[in-house]
Amino acid sequence: MIEVSHLVKSFGSLVAVDNLSLQIVPGEILGFLGPNGAGKSTTMKILTGYLKPTSGTVKVNGINVEQDPVGVKQLIGYLPEGAPAYEEMTTRRFLTFIAELRGYTGHEIVKRLDRVVDVMSLSSVIDRRIETLSKGFKRRVGIAQAIIHDPKILILDEPTDGLDPNQKHQVRELIRGLSKDKIIIVSTHILEEVTAVCSRAVIISDGKVLEDCEPSTLETRSKYHGAVTLICSCETDFARMRVATKALVADMPPIVDEDAFRLTLFQSESSRPLLLHVTKLLEETGVVAEVVSEKGRLDEVFRSITKSAEVLA
């Protein structure tokens, strides 16, 4: 369990983390979201004991990070932003070095190495210098390094940055597979990633928590949540449809694309569930149209949450 209470970190006059409090329990995969410079990385650096907070405390499994940093570091696996490594070393030597520092010796190191090399598919680059590896492989070496001791707490700062779609998928699968009794904190600015892997989403901006909820609830806050798009094949159908749906969307103006005969209707309190109403309407009027059910758009939610905070400030 991680308990962050009233955490403040300022660099001179800049307040990077502003009175942040959080509790994270085992089994949770927490997605840390926020615009660049929101304080995500700084918070992670404090959790891992790299930076010292200006005020406030961080307790990991009851251990205060400031009082026993080494004790906390033993519990945590951490991928710093940009996946730094000793680039002149080969993957094998680098991972061996990490395993040694994690306290393993002899055969245990070989066993641990084999496991992470297998999990992260690193066998093709095991004897290559890290500086010669592609961005994707470097990132995977960084994650391998973080999970070598099978940590109870895994903190990954932008783990899928620079990976291709297949590798992203692989990393997400890995994170999901790990989560049983662990705490995993992932920072990202890819919102889909949060719905794909996380059980909890925390949006921060200017060092403050703006939103702390399940990723699925985040989606429902989108204007597009429950929205329906209708696409007609001819002008007459389109015109009839516009008239027929007028009553449904009285309080929410629809988006109309005259050239493509497209109409997007938004769900409001009175028109819920919109999809059902629309299909019923189409049946009644006999209009032929393609019906597309929209999903909540996370970046729109993200924008509205972080922008409104800016306006308030």
Residues that bind another protein (CB under 8 A): 11, 45, 48-52, 69-70, 73-74, 76, 78, 80-82, 84-89, 93, 97-98, 100-103, 145
**In this structure, are residues 186 and 175 in contact, taking their beta carbons and an 8 Å threshold?**
yes
**In this structure, are residues 301 and 224 in contact, taking their beta carbons and an 8 Å threshold?**
no
The distance of closest approach from Cβ of residue 191 to another protein in the complex, given in angstroms and rounded to an integer, is: 26
Nearer Cβ to another protein, position 25 or 101?
Answer: 101
Nearer Cβ to another protein, position 78 or 238?
Answer: 78
The distance of closest approach from Cβ of residue 42 to another protein in the complex, given in angstroms and rounded to an integer, is: 12
Helix axes 135-147, 165-178, angle to 10 degrees: 10
**In this structure, are residues 160 and 193 in contact, taking their beta carbons and an 8 Å threshold?**
yes
The distance of closest approach from Cβ of residue 71 to another protein in the complex, given in angstroms and rounded to an integer, is: 8
The first and second tokens of residue 149, run together, are 């001791």
The distance of closest approach from Cβ of residue 79 to another protein in the complex, given in angstroms and rounded to an integer, is: 9
Nearer Cβ to another protein, position 54 or 285?
Answer: 54
**In this structure, are residues 29 and 221 in contact, taking their beta carbons and an 8 Å threshold?**
no
CA distance 122 to 92: 10
Tell how far CA 84 is from the center of its chain: 20
**Is the bond preceding 69 in cis, omega lying within 30 degrees of 0?**
no
**In this structure, are residues 6 and 55 in contact, taking their beta carbons and an 8 Å threshold?**
yes
**In this structure, are residues 215 and 202 in contact, taking their beta carbons and an 8 Å threshold?**
no
Nearer Cβ to another protein, position 109 or 218?
Answer: 109
Nearer Cβ to another protein, position 24 or 309?
Answer: 24
The distance of closest approach from Cβ of residue 97 to another protein in the complex, given in angstroms and rounded to an integer, is: 5
Nearer Cβ to another protein, position 86 or 114?
Answer: 86
The distance of closest approach from Cβ of residue 233 to another protein in the complex, given in angstroms and rounded to an integer, is: 56
